[in-house]
Amino acid sequence: MSAETKVLDSWVLAEFATPDALVDATRQMREKGYQGMDTYSPYPLHGGSEALGLPPSRVPFIALGGALTGIVTALAFQTYMNTIDYPLNIGGRPTFSLPAWVPITFELAVLLTAFGIFFGLLGLSRLPQPYHPVFESEEFRSASTHGYWLSVPTAETTVKPDDIKNQLTSLGATHVTVVTGEKE
């Protein structure tokens, strides 16, 4: 048993019939003091992140960083290439043609912003994740089609899994199960 708890964790998974029931149950469980819970649904639940008490997303700051990097990089390389390193008179236009730099600067700002937020999301959410303990449960597969699930980790609480199960059932869970998987 002791060897097992070092590498394995258990989660109680509960399925709810409606999104409201899930959000409600999540809020009540959090008020009871459970930590590290997560909810799973086929589409984003409104109020889900509030019920879990999640902080605001950091993504907009990554976006701003990407945009500024793009603007600075594009202006720098265009000026270096066409004004400093290879100044060539084309159509009598000045070698430092700032208005003509604008289109590419804009494109690069957009590109780097999009890359920033896309990879930022993957990083923050630790995707791609080849393994997740919830995949151990066969029933859990409904979370991507029509089910509304709540996971409660047992590692961060002293309450016994069976008691958690009972609490969840009393909150209206239609299906409760325990999965055991490797620690993250």
Partner 1 sequence: MSNQHTSTLRVPLVSEERTLGQLTEEICAPMERKPSRMWWVAFALAVVTLAVGVGMVTYEVSTGIGVWGLNKTIGWAFDITNFVFWVGIGHAGTLISAILFLFRQKWRTSINRAAEAMTLFAVMCAAIFPVIHMGRPWNAFWVLPYPNDRGSLWVNFRSPLLWDVFAISTYFTISAVFWYFGLIPDLATVRDRVKGGLKKAVFKVLSFGWTGSSRTWHRYETVYLLLAGLATPLVLSVHTIVSFDFATSVIPGWHTTIFPPYFVAGAVFSGFAMVLTLMIITRVVLGFEHLITIRHLENMTKVIIVTGGIVSLAYGTEFFIAWYSGNPYEKFTFMNRAFGPYAWAYWTMVTCNVVSPHLFWFKKVRTSPAAIFVLSLVINVGMWFERFVIIVTSLHRDFLPSSWSMYTPTVVEVGTFVGTFGLFFTLFLLFTRVLPIISIGEVKSVAAFARGSHAPGHASHPAHGSETPHEHPAEAPEPLPTPALAAAVVRKDMPV
Partner 2 sequence: MIAVDRFNGGSKTMTLAGAVGIVGLVLTAVGFFTAPQPTMFSYLFGFTYWLGISVAAIIMVAIFHTAKAKWITILRRTMETMGSSVFVFALLVIPLLLGAKYIFPWVNHGTDWVFPGTDGVKFTEVELHHLHHKSPYLNLPFLYVRQAIYFAVWIFVSWRLRTWSMEQDTTGALELTVKQRRFSPGSLPFLALTITFAGFDWLMTLTPLWQSTIFGVYYFAGSFLAAFCVLTIATVNAQGKDEYGTLVTTAHYHNLGKLLLAFTAFWAYIAFSQFLLIWVANIPEEAGWFKLRIEGAWKPLSISLFVMGFAVPFFTLLSRNLKLKPRLLAVVAVYLLIMHAVDLYWLIWPAYSPQGPSFHWTLITSFIGVGGLAVAAAMWQARGRYTLPVKDPYISESLRYVQP
The answer to whether residues 19 and 150 touch, using CB atoms and an 8 Å cutoff, is no
Strands, DSSP E only, in the chain? 8-16, 38-40, 148-153, 175-182
**Bridge-partner residues for 149, per DSSP?**
15, 40
Q: Does 101 bind partner 1 (CB under 8 A)?
A: yes
Contacts of 109 (CB under 8 A, 6+ apart): 66, 67, 68, 70, 71, 74
Cis ω for the linkage preceding 128 (within 30 of 0): yes
The site partner of 117 among partner 1, partner 2, none (C-beta below 5 to 8 Å per kind) is partner 1
Nearer CB in complex with partner 1: 134/178: 134
Give the nearest distance from C-beta 43 to partner 2 in angstroms: 14
Q: What tokens does 81 get?
A: 């290439």
Using the rule CB under 8 A, is 55 a contact of partner 2? Answer: no
The closest alpha carbon to 182, from 159, 155, 161, belongs to 155
The partner in contact with residue 38, picked from partner 2, partner 1, none with C-beta cut-offs of 5 to 8 angstroms by kind, is partner 1
If one asks whether residue 41 binds partner 1 (CB under 8 A), the answer comes out as yes
Using rule CB under 8 A, residue 172 touches partner 1: no
Specify the stretch interacting with partner 2 by CB under 8 A; choose among 86-94, 139-147, 149-157, 163-171.
86-94
Determine the Cα–Cα distance for residues 67 and 115; give it in Å rounded to an integer: 10
Residue 131: strand, helix, or coil: coil
Q: Per rule CB under 8 A, is residue 100 in the interface with partner 2?
A: yes
Contact call for residue 160 and partner 1 (CB under 8 A): no
Q: Give residues in contact with partner 1 (CB under 8 A).
A: 18-20, 23, 38-50, 52, 54, 56-57, 59-60, 63, 77-78, 81-82, 85-86, 88, 90-91, 93, 97, 100-101, 103-104, 106-108, 110-111, 113-115, 117-118, 120-122, 124-125, 127-132, 134-135, 141-146, 149
